[in-house]
A and B are shown apart, each in its own frame.
Chain A
Amino acid sequence: KQEVTQIPAALSVPEGENLVLNCSFTDSAIYNLQWFRQDPGKGLTSLLLIQSSQREQTSGRLNASLDKSSGRSTLYIAASQPGDSATYLCAAYGGSNYKLTFGKGTLLTVNP
């Protein structure tokens, strides 16, 4: 059974800092890995999707990497802004079924 862990559970940084959020998964037989953002009381917004054959994906100030062999993914946020404050979730997509297994998320606070 796939298990996804995110560390740290919460992170507080000053504005402008570069930061890394970590995600690990136990079953490397994934089809892809997605990073989502969730604002308080809102739904999930997809940020980046990395296919199992890819090593990384970039969108603006966000860069996500994937290392299947070690069961790890990282989300790098450059030059953080207060508007980046949210909970970030990673989710691994199983290869044999279409199930997304989510981590518990990292609550990010960017202080002005």
Chain B
Amino acid sequence: DAGVIQSPRHEVTEMGQEVTLRCKPISGHDYLFWYRQTMMRGLELLIYFNNNVPIDDSGMPEDRFSAKMPNASFSTLKIQPSEPRDSAVYFCASSLEGPYEQYFGPGTRLTVT
């Protein structure tokens, strides 16, 4: 298996633009997680899905953030409009079961100018 795949790897955009991050989990994994990593706050869980259904989005910072999982092999995290404080590395992870080992993608480094 290719592991968790994320695209793009790097994204530079201007404040106010819409940003869409993409994730393909490991085939057969029922759980998908979106995290954000910053120097100040470390790694934080934004939202997670079970069988394509959002279970807990309490970590989503604002209404500008939204996430979808239209099928078992694809998820998106959208920021609209983007702001400079959204600059961070966004990771997607998946696991076979909720409490099982999580496998992380390489991350998307987002820079909002």
Chain A interface residues (CB < 8 Å from chain B): 31-32, 34, 36, 41-46, 49, 89, 91, 93, 97-105
Contact = CB atoms under 8 A, between A and B. Distances in A.
A32 B107 contact: no
Interface string B80-108: 00000000000101000011011111110
11 contacts: A31-B99, A42-B106, A43-B106, A43-B107, A46-B103, A46-B104, A89-B43, A93-B99, A97-B56, A100-B45, A104-B42
Interface of B: 4, 31, 33, 42-45, 48, 50, 55-56, 91, 93, 98-99, 101-107, 109
A103 B42 contact: yes
Contacts of B109: 41
Contacts of B93: 44
Contacts of A89: 43
Given A98-B31, A99-B56, A103-B42, A44 B91 contact: yes
Nearest to B98: A98
